Every structure is written in structure tokens, then in C-alpha cells.
Structure 1
Amino acid sequence: MVKMRSIEEKDNQVVGEIVQASLKSRGLNLPGTAYFDPYLFSLYDYYQELKRSYWVLEKDGRVIGGCGIGPFGESETVGELQKLYIRDEEQGSGYAHLLMGKALDFAEEHYKSCYIDTFASLKEANKLYEKYGFKKLNAPIKGSEHNACDTWFYKEF
């Protein structure tokens, strides 16, 4: 049984580890990626501000992934899909769809559009974004923190 809930302070370490393990296993543990985000192991605090939220999926009492929405840079109208990661061994079971639905509902409530920066090599993730109506961009939106990324998506609500 999988349960979705808002991130709690006790989740900080495990969520940070899931993000880093996922990126490292794909050779994407690079400067300019979420791997080195300064708040990666304190996500609970980061997502307590207005127009930010992060959800985790728990299976049999164990956190298996998560996803967040927050502001993109200084923009008041553009939200960003942030840190959508599922443990490798749990992928392919539709869990990302649960998180995407929740995240996009929240984003639509608080923003006029949503942005994602990612990598071309993450083909399954990119298919997921397109399935949810994101359009591929030719370049990042000004203000992106993840300058190592080579693929960008944008969705208007």
C-alpha cells in the first residue's frame, strides 16, 4: 500500500539520499544539478514557505520517492516542478503519476505556468512530462539554477 503525504522533517535525510542515488546511478552527479543543491538535505524547511509544497510516497513505512513545486527563481507566476525522484527499484509502477497529479494541481492553484529542467538522457521522465502537457523548449528560461541540464519543459495552465 502506497501513501502520499506532505514531507516531514524526519524525511530530510532519506529524500536527499534518494535524489543523490538516482542522479549518481545515471552519471548525473554533476555541479549544476539537484545533487549539489544547498538545501537538498533540509527540504522540509525549504517547502514551508508560501507557494511551495513537497510530497513523499511511503510504501510499507518506507519513503520511496517524492516531488515538489516551488517558485521558479524570482517569478511570481512561474512555478517549477522540483525533485521528482522515485527509488530505482520502485520505478515503473505508476508512482510518478501519483506525484505529478498532486504537484500539477498545486502548481495550477498557485502559478500561471510550470517549468522543468532535466536531461535528454532521462527519456522516461521526459515522456512523462510530455504526457502531462509540457512542451519542450530550445533553451532554459532565464534564472535556472541547474545549469548542467540540457533539456527544458514548460506548461501553461
Structure 2
Amino acid sequence: MNSKMNPPIIRPIQKKDNPHVATVIRSVLVDMGVPKVGTAYADTALDRMFETYQKERTVFFVVEDDGKIIGGAGLAPLDNYEGNVCELQKMYFLPETRGRGIGSAMIKKCLDKAKEFKFEKCYLETMPYMTAAQKLYERSGFSYIDGPMGDTGHYSCPVHMLKEL
């Protein structure tokens, strides 16, 4: 397990984090066998995460452990949707984070921010085989819904979940 003295910190992304965040996300997606088209892998924003999350009512947090970026997650208004709904986006962690409570802490941080931004609901999309992530989402109060909301462009992500805030 982790023998380090300092626990990981969750903080807002900085411009210098861009290449590290892109590497983490692509690495996790490749490890999970996620299609490279119709998923976050193909998003041009991956290389410009800091800039992407500078808009109103958006935020991206990174997890830093001993100076190394080991994960992250973002929050933004749901694309192409009429309504006060945000989307939990690009939540990915390297294998070394798993089982340490970091995912739960990240979701709490994002949902607290969503409430601060006065969103009414939070939506997410994921892959069927990302079962550990789905269990984490369920523990955090997300429920499965029958189909997509809005249009995120992630047509290869067939699992949709929603949480009332």
C-alpha cells in the first residue's frame, strides 16, 4: 500500500498539468480497452484541459500524489441540453489510486462544486465494463437512466447515470 507520509491532494488544474492529465486519461482508456473513437480518447480537449475548463460553471480537479498527477475529474454544463444539468466528465485514475478512497473524495469535491454552481442534477456516461466506477457512482447517489441526455458526442458510451443535487 501507500507508505508515503503525505496523502494525495485534490486541487484545481493548472496549465502546467495539461500534458500529465492527457497522459493519465489516455493511459487509463488504453488499459481499459476503450474505443478511440466516440469516447473521451478522441476529444481534442484532452491536450488542453486547463483551457477547456476556464468557462463559466466549469471546473477540473487533479489528484496530485508526491508531485505526480495520478488522476482527475471535471464538471461542466451538459452539452446540447436545455436544463440546469451538469456532467461529471473525464474522471480517470491510474491503477495506484484504486482502493484508497480517492474516487469517492473526487466525486464529493465535484458534486459540492456542482451545488455551489447551483446545478439541479449531475449526469455522466461510462462504459458497461467499467463496473468498479459504476459501483462508485451508485454509492455516490447516481442512478441508471434509460438513455442519453444532451449530446456529448460520446456515442460509444452506452451507460448513462443521473443524480439529483
**What TM bracket, shorter-length normalisation?**
over 0.9
Match for residue 39 of structure 1? 45
SS in 1 for 2:72: strand
Matched AA of 2:149: I
1:12-49 per-residue CA deviation (whole Å, 9 max, x = no partner) reads 11111111110111110420100010111100001111
5+ long unaligned stretches in structure 1 = none
Which of the residues 124, 130, 136 maps onto 1:128? 136
Shift of 1:4: 1.5
Which of the residues 116, 125, 128 maps onto 1:117? 125
Matched AA of 2:97: E
Superposed CA RMSD in Å reads 1.1
Give the distance between the partners of 1:28 and 1:55, measured in 2 at CA: 22
Q: Normalised by the size of structure 2, how large is the TM-score?
A: 0.91
Q: Normalised by the size of structure 1, how large is the TM-score?
A: 0.95
Give percent identity, aligned residues only: 34
Match for residue 140 of structure 1? 148
Q: Quick check: 1:15 aligned with 2:16? A: no
Distance change in 2, residues 1:11/1:29 (3 Å): farther
Task: List structure 1 segments (4+ residues) > 2 angstroms apart after TM superposition.
Answer: none
1:98-124 per-residue CA deviation (whole Å, 9 max, x = no partner) reads 111100011122211110000110000
Q: Quick check: 1:26 aligned with 2:32? A: yes
Q: Quick check: 1:55 aligned with 2:61? A: yes
